Structure 1
Amino acid sequence: MDEKLGEFLSNFNRAIELSREHLAQNDGRERIIDVLTEHIGVPAAEVPIVSQDVPVHRFADLDISMEKIAGRDPGARLIGVGGGQQRQHQSLADIVQEGYGPVGVGQPDFVNLAVGPDSTREVVALGLRLFAYEGVPLAVLQRAANPQYGRSGADVAVLGRNREAAVGFLAELQEELRTNSILRGQVVSFAFDPYGQQGAGVTFLARPSLPAEEVILPGEVLDRVRRHVLGIAANREVLREHGQHLKRGVLLYGPPGTGKTHTVRHLLSASEGTTAVLLAGNSLHMVGEAARLARAMAPSMVILEDIDLVAEDRNMGHGPQPLLFEVLDALDGLDADADVVFLMTTNRAEALERALVQRPGRVDLAVRIPLPGVENRVRLLELYAPAGVFSDAALQSAAEQSEGATASFARELVRRAVLRAVDAGEKPGDSHLAAAAEELLGQGEALTRSLLGAGGDGSGGDGDDGGAGFGPGGPDPQPGVSVGYTVGWTP
């Protein structure tokens, strides 16, 4: 029985080999192994292959660099890998060794990738570039990530009879990726990928346009933040000459709806040309990659929204937090002279890990964004209201009634007033604002007020300077940083 089984398997394998040979002879295609052998001048199956992984979010950069380098050879050409879905699983080594059988020349695969908020580029997703590099023929397989087929990362593989030429090509490619990028000066966020961070690309965001006049904060809060985030960047060369560090961490904390994200949007608006990486929610696990990208694309910002989600105090009893250590490593891993700012926001400063906030160099400026006082509530209503619709007296009255309200509440109050006027077929006026205030502040809107941040702790006020503070035992303030409010923990 065993002898017959062995004979059957031997015949079966031979039948498969004959079938492959028949297909290779009759599909009318050149075999890739023959094309590669002719191109490099020696049997392709006997040549070592040098490979390099590429971050998914740099794949468009890779395609641009590959086209630039290969384009120096007037005889460069691009071919594809023939076959069905199995070609998606094959590496360059599989192709030249014909591990899945003979592979014919096919058409390259292309995919459209975003290269800006409003622009895309057709890039080679799977293809072989044949060209001469410094006189040495090379074949380079370029493959995009394809999690559907188990390939979570992108890569290039180089085949050439001269290994030094292959290594030199990859070194030049790396230098191109280091110095040139479509990401430089852009605002991007990492896309969530269910297959893991290796498969995460980037989403390009339009840089917001938000002047300082539309950021309503008390006292000199905004000026203090601007000096630390933008002022240091503007004076980077002078600071370097005097041996001062540029890497910095800024924490904006305070109740929800007070303007932390609004302040971040203004900083983005005022930092044209700076690369910004936004991390929030599921993308916070990409903080390590964001830090590497920020280092390469400096001057840059890494914005961590709701940092407490991944940097909660270890003493709060929730067990190990691996992402906390990624955050700390990212903050510590940059050189002091790197013009990179980590801009973090939280509604729960008291829950933050002390190793994050009580160590200079990780967070060297913490600014409380308080609830607006009555004068700022008037300014917020003026900002959101249509020009000339409500009188000063009506705005003042509405502001005085909404003690403890946030900027979000002021926006909703104006919207409700306009809606009441539209429903009544009238032009918006003082009576509609008063009625909207009465409605929103009534018992029936208690949940809405809570969601919009009205009726808070009343800690806001126009005298609130929003200064940095960690209480006794916290970090010594840096020069020029005022210490005022105490975050809620006890050191």
Structure 2
Amino acid sequence: MDIDDDLRAFLTQFARLSEAAHQLSHQHENSLKDALTKHLGRPADEVATVSKEVVGYRFADYDVAFEHLAGPDAGLIGLGGGDQRHNASLADIVGSSWQHIPVGQVDWADVAVGPVATRRVVALGIRLFTFRDEPVAVLTRRNSRMHGNGVGVIEVLCPDGQVASDLIAEATRIGTERSLLRGNVITLEMVGYEAEGDGFRFLARPEVPAEAVVLPAGTLERITGHVLGVAEHAETLRRYGQHLKRGVLLYGPPGTGKTHTVRHLISSSPGHTVILLSGQTLALVRQATSIARHLQPAIVVLEDCDLVAMERGYDPSGNPLLFELLDALDGLDSDTDIAFVLTTNRVDVLEEALTQRPGRVDLAVEIPPPDEASRRRLLDLYQGSVSFSDSALDEVARRSDARTASFFKELIRRAVLYAAEDGLEPTDVHLLSALGALQSDQETLSRNLISGFIDPTPDGY
């Protein structure tokens, strides 16, 4: 394309004008690079960065640590510019191609530090302070799937690279010592495409007193003594060289009270960090063990672990996930105060694996269906303020062989519902009527499941 002299002259002048405007606009802008250079006492782009990735559940701990290390007089600056600031490393930001990025506002976020509590953390910002008499600039960037950041990042600029590494190590120590996870109940979560959360969730600690757990005589005491008694006498055991790590297996048919027993253990151990795994998250047993090791005393609960006893899908080496748990137990020091509590409906699936690795689970307790005496106690527990006669309750306990706790809970609810439909207070008649209906419903369902046929008539439902 031919350009005449007048047009060429115009374009040249226009380019000069644009460059002058660009430079003028940045003369009044507080350059991030200049701010870092001033604090560090040398050109920021000549200082190497030391970085560390931070998983979501540790980000608030590092925020606590750096707030403590920086002190109340530390500077705090944000990053201006567009979305690229969420993805560029600190080295990129202070590099020549980023020299005009301005100082901006700090990005904040409220993150969970308990079942209902939150903490305001620096989601994207730079703290300016001194550590061991050296100036440091610490950038913290929280993980953000919206910006393609799967994990959080800490980056430290310091003229002395060893001081930068020591600062991260000290922040890790303080973050662990003052961890906001400590003493809480958490569950780990699989975080994948479009997933929400930070890979974990806080749970409220349940309130389940011993009298609310109905098991055969002496069973609950054996379990609590093994899980909590060891923790209570941890220092004595350590003094005499005895190991603290322990594994407990609760087995029995569905609905007999295994999970309820676990809830009681959690309720009775307010000083313990508890990590719950179930379903797919059982694959995170190594991660859970690492958390427990740092935040002991701890309890790691693996519910329905038979579901992965022979599962090989998550482990590229081809070993069942249960062996990962057993290996994790082997890898703990003897004075590590961690209790592993496993529950299963299929002890036969686990038996072979456990006998191949003896000594990892040192207590196995059967949680059987309630006997008649236990069924009577369950009725007393669930009837609450409803008054039924002792003779009616005795009859129900006698006639409800092989029923689980959930059956009796529903039985009382249905008796109250029948009474409400009649406009009356609940009586023995309503209780026995509900028993007959529930037993009939369950027998019909069992018949239909076996035959593969559901009666299409109204009476069949």
TM above 0.5 = yes
Q: Are the aligned partners of 2:309 and 2:320 in contact in 1 as well (CA < 8 Å)?
A: no
Task: Determine the C-alpha separation between the residues in 2 that align with 1:20 and 1:404.
Answer: 86
Q: Distance in 2 between matches of 1:139 and 1:65?
A: 15
Structure 2 length as normaliser, TM-score? 0.87
1:94-121, CA deviations, whole angstroms, 9 ceiling, x for partnerless residues?
1011446631111111111111122111
| Residue identity opposite 1:239 in structure 2 | L
Q: 2-side partners of 1:98 and 1:17: how far apart?
A: 21
User: Out of 112, 116, 119, which is 1:118 matched to?
Assistant: 116
Aligned to 2:43: 43
Report the CA distance shift for 1:267/1:32 in structure 2 as closer, same or farther (over 3 A).
same
Residue matched to 2:9: none
Query: 1:30 matched to which residue of 2?
Result: 30
Q: 1:467-486 residue pairs with structure 2 within 5 A?
A: none
* Structure 1 residues 17 and 302: CA distance shift in structure 2, 3 A: farther
Output one character per residue of 1:38-69: Cα deviation in whole Å (capped at 9) or x when no partner. Answer: 11011111111111222220111111111111
Tell me if the contact between 1:247 and 1:341 (Cα under 8 Å) persists in the aligned partners: yes
Mapped partners of 1:175, 1:197: distance in 2: 30
The 2-side partners of 1:292 and 1:390 are apart by 51
Change (3 A) 1:328 1:196: farther
Aligned length: 432
Worse-matched range after superposition: 96-105 or 379-388: 96-105
Q: Distance in 2 between matches of 1:270 and 1:146?
A: 37
**Secondary structure of the corresponding residue to residue 215 of structure 2:** coil
Q: Secondary structure at the match of 1:390?
A: coil
TM-score norm. by structure 1 comes to 0.82
CA distance in structure 1 between the partners assigned to 2:196 and 2:333 by the alignment: 25
Pair 1:52-2:52 in alignment? yes
> Are 1:63 and 2:63 matched, yes or no?
yes
For residue 116 of structure 1, give the secondary structure of its aligned residue in structure 2.
Answer: coil
Query: 1:296-307 residue pairs with structure 2 within 5 A?
Result: 296-307=294-305
| Alignment pair present for 1:434 and 2:432 | yes
Give the aligned partner of residue 86 of structure 2.
88
The alignment partner of 2:414 has SS state of helix
The percent of aligned pairs where both chains have the same amino acid is: 50
Any gaps of 5 or more consecutive residues in structure 1?
2-14, 452-491
User: How do residues 283-322 of structure 1 correspond to structure 2 at under 5 angstroms?
Assistant: 283-312=281-310, 320=318
Q: Identify the residue that residue 326 of structure 1 maps to in structure 2.
A: 324
* Partner AA of 2:304 in structure 1: D
For residue 400 of structure 1, report the CA deviation from its aligned partner.
Answer: 1.4
The 5 Å alignment of 1:373-452 reads: 373-387=371-385, 389-442=387-440, 446-447=444-445
Deviation digits for residues 144-175 of structure 1, max 9, x if unmatched? 11123221111211001122321221221121
Say yes or no: does 1:223 pair with 2:221.
yes
Cα 1:338–1:136 change in 2 (3 A) is same
Q: 1:325 to 1:46 in 2, by over 3 A?
A: farther
SS of corresponding position for 1:393: helix
For 1:21 and 1:347, how far apart are their aligned partners in 2?
A: 76
Gaps of 5+ in 2: 2-13, 450-461
Match of 1:159 in 2: 157
Tell me, yes or no, if the aligned pair for 1:190 and 1:200 is still in contact at 8 Å. no
How far is the alpha carbon of 1:83 from its aligned partner? Answer: 1.3
Change (3 A) 1:22 1:374: farther
| Alpha carbons 2:247, 2:361 under 8 Å: kept | yes
User: Kindly tell me: are residues 355 and 172 of structure 1, through their superposed partners in 2, closer, same or farther at Cα, counting changes over 3 Å?
Assistant: same
Deviation at 1:24, TM superposition (A): 6.6
Distance in 1 between the 2:211 and 2:306 partners?
29
Counterpart contact for 2:70–2:127, Cα < 8 Å:
yes
- Return closer, same or farther for 1:197/1:250 CA change in 2, 3 Å cut-off: farther
Say if 1:16 and 1:253 are closer, same or farther in 2 by CA, change over 3 A.
farther
Indicate the residue corresponding to 1:276 in structure 2: 274
1:213 aligns with 2:197: no
1:400 maps to amino acid:
R
1:253 matched to 2:251? The reply is yes
CA distance 1:24–1:301, shift in 2 (3 Å): farther
> Residue 206 and residue 338 in structure 1: after superposition, are their counterparts in 2 closer, same or farther (change >3 A)?
same
Structure 1 counterpart of 2:458:
none
Q: Which moved more, 1:145-154 or 1:363-372?
A: 145-154
The answer to whether the 8 Å contact 1:54/1:154 transfers is yes
